[in-house]
Amino acid sequence: MRHLIDIMDFSAAEIDELIATATDIVAHPEKYREKCRYKKLATLFFEPSTRTRLSFEAAMMELGGQVLGFSEASSSSAAKGESVADTAAIVSGYADIIAMRHPKEGAPLVAASKSDVPIINAGDGGHFHPTQTLTDLFTIHLEKGSFENLTVGLCGDLKFGRTVHSLIAALSRYTGIRFVLISPEELKVPSYVKNTYIKEKGIPYKQTTSLDEAMPELDVLYMTRVQRERFFNEEDYLRLRDSYILTPEKMEKAKKDMIVLHPLPRVNEISTEVDKDPRAAYFRQAKNGKFIRMALILKLLEVD
Ligand code: CP
């Protein structure tokens, strides 16, 4: 039995397989409509979500399966003090696969240690978000055709942005990758991410506070929201939240074939005027999430 806790739980070859399956699902959805008949997905979301939870649920429904779960801790027995480990042990008796989001780093790993069915980390605190990374990789594959020789700019809250940490790890395996890390001083990439996936792998990178300066060299710009829910005080959040706002004027400085990604939700960091720019790929990216999650469910359930 496999779990997906960290994107590095899957090899690059396995990610290629998932992308191939997702591509086939997009082309031939009818082939997949009964693949998970009589299977159940439980979505245990102890934190808010729109895309991740609903795309997982849509994915299971489109595979012919069924879904159960909760969308906030207060409506589960966590509110009465039940542990993550006990919750996972119990729900693994009700469902064939579990997607879990939790504010505490490592909670899905604890769940996996007690579960009889595959656990998918749907975001754990400010740590990792591997299925967002699968979505990001599928989108880069569709939009750019390859993961190699790309200069990828990551902009915004690189400290608490779990999608950033997982994406850096995943991209660190491809040839010719270069990172431009764009953030305020206070929101730099944590050293465990920088050391493990960038420095120790000898990947070229640059750290800057200037999005304007970085724009012309980027093939992919990955914008992120400042993660209000992870700040210890509101004052710091208010000071940092508008550090970067992508506008049509800034887009003029970018390559003609650069793409803009964002895991969403967006608050203020991308002007809605950018949405009509064909390089704005973030709504396409959100849609891709359903297909790659369908491929992931099939893989973890070992459905042919
Ligand atoms: N990208 C993402 O995780 O979005 P949600 O918080 O809406 O699931």
Nearest to 108 by CA among 91, 96, 121: 121
Question: Is the CB of 51 inside a 6 Å radius of any atom of ligand 1?
Answer: yes
pLDDT digits (tens, 9 = 90+) for 221-238: 999 998 888 887 888 888
Give the sheet arrangement for strand 220-223, strand by strand: 205-208, 178-182, 151-155, 220-223, 259-261
Is 0.85 surpassed by the pTM of this model?
Answer: yes
Spatial contact of 118 and 301, defined as CB atoms under 8 Å apart? yes
Q: Are 144 and 40 in contact (CB under 8 A)?
A: no
130-133-134 Cα angle (round to 5) = 95
Distance 19 CA to ligand 1 centre (A): 20
Q: How far is the CA of 49 from the centre of ligand 1 (A)?
A: 5
Which amino acid is residue 201, in one-letter code? Answer: K
Closest CA to ligand 1's atom 5: 49
Tokens linked to 123: 């975001």
- Residue pair 166/129 in contact (Cβ under 8 Å)? The answer is yes
The 3-state secondary structure of 165-196 reads HHHHHHHCCCCCCEEEEECCHHHCCCHHHHHH
Distance 6 CA to ligand 1 centre (A): 17
Q: Which amino acid is at 145?
A: G
Does 264 contact ligand 1 (Cβ within 6 A)?
Answer: yes
Kindly report, residue by residue over 39-88, the tens digit of the pLDDT.
999 999 999 999 999 999 999 999 999 999 999 999 999 999 999 999 99
Of ligand 1's listed atoms, the one at least distance from the Cα of 52 is 8
pLDDT digits (tens, 9 = 90+) for 91-142: 999 999 999 999 999 999 999 999 999 999 999 999 999 999 999 999 999 9
263 CB near ligand 1 (under 6 Å): yes
Identify the residue whose C-alpha is closest to ligand 1 atom 1. 263
What's the half-sphere exposure (Cβ side, CA atoms, 13 Å) at 219? 16
What number does the ligand 1 atom closest to the CA of 129 have? Answer: 3
> Domains in the chain, please, with CATH?
7-129+287-300 (3.40.50.1370), 130-286 (3.40.50.1370)
Determine the atom of ligand 1 nearest the C-alpha atom of 55: 8
